[in-house]
Amino acid sequence: MRYRLSPSILAADFTKLGEEIRKTEEAGAEYLHIDVMDGWFVPSISFGQPLVTSIRQGSRQFFDVHLMVQDPERYIGDFAKAGADGITVHAEACRHLDRVLSQIHEAGCRAGVALNPATPLSVLDYVYQKTDMVLIMTVNPGFGGQKLIPEMFGKIRTLRQRLDELHLETDIEVDGGVNRDTIVPLLEAGTNVCVAGSAVFRGDIGQNVRVLNGVLRDYEKRQESEGVG
């Protein structure tokens, strides 16, 4: 199993966004997390397809686009054309989740399903085979800088156990409260893709990425040596 850091540009300085994205890539971040918020599904409004098109020109990273929007099927094709590599939609925002996941695949992207903290894992029961990644929200969506909700560790463990039972290599991504103190417990619970905003973009971006990536690489090596994953 591959362990990856996905820096969230929601926490970046938008007056020098391109420069800060380059720093994450140069420091070794393979993914870039792009939170799209519509002011309807979540209270905040962030950005849309034009920004993704713009930053795509200067980055070779995997664009991990997280649509925190109501009825996301309206935008799948546009974000795929803008440069998304993976598109994650909220189960709570989709009338027909199975259809939306098919739409994402048809657009040439990896398909993810995000679950809010209070949403049960049972909503995934009939779409596991179409889901490349499950994003467990470890905070309530819409605002950065929140503390991780501790009950989510159990949710992650249960999901990883379920995926193992189904013999699926589906990624588990977490978003919210990821930092140097929480990252190892999240990995031990079953996470393998970690979204980090403030923990990356506050302070020395390159150093922050290298430190967090170092934790991921060390954990990955330990798993390999123990014959896990």
* From 35, 38, 64, 132, active-site residue: 35
Cβ-defined contacts of 206-211 (< 8 Å, 24+): 206/23, 206/24, 206/26, 206/27, 207/27, 208/27, 209/5, 209/7, 209/23, 209/24, 209/27, 209/28, 209/29, 210/27, 210/28, 211/180
Task: Detail the residues annotated as belonging to a binding site for substrate.
Answer: 8, 66, 142-145, 175-177, 197-198
Q: Which residues fall in the annotated binding site for a divalent metal cation?
A: 33, 35, 66, 175
Kindly name the residue from 13, 64, 175, 218 that is annotated as catalytic: 175
CB 208 within 8 A of CB 199: yes
Beta sheet of 193-196, edge-to-edge order: 4-7, 193-196, 171-175, 133-137, 110-115, 86-90, 62-68, 31-37
Note if 175 is an active site residue.
yes
**Binding site: residue ranges?**
8, 33, 35, 66, 142-145, 175-177, 197-198
Dihedral through CA 112, CA 113, CA 117, CA 123, nearest 10?
-150
Decide if 64 is catalytic. no
Residues annotated as part of the active site: 35, 175
